[in-house]
Amino acid sequence: MMNTKPSRLTAENSLVILIDHQPGLLMNCKTIDPLTIKNNVVAFANALKVLNVPTILTMQSLGGFGPITKDLAEALPDVEHIDRTIIDVWLDARIRKMIEDSGKTHIILGGITLEVCAMFPALSLREEGYQVYAVMDISGSQSVDIERWALARLVQAGAIPVSFTAVLMEMLGDNSLPEAGPVYGALSPSWGMPTFLSEYHQ
Residues assigned a catalytic role:
117
Burial class, 9, CB count within 10 angstroms (exposed 0-12 / middle 13-18 / buried 19+): buried
Integer CA distances (angstroms), 84 to 54, 63, 81, 182, in order:
19, 11, 9, 33
Angle at 123 between CA 121 and CA 127, to 5 degrees: 110
Of 162, 147, 155, 170, which Cα lies nearest the Cα of 122?
A: 155
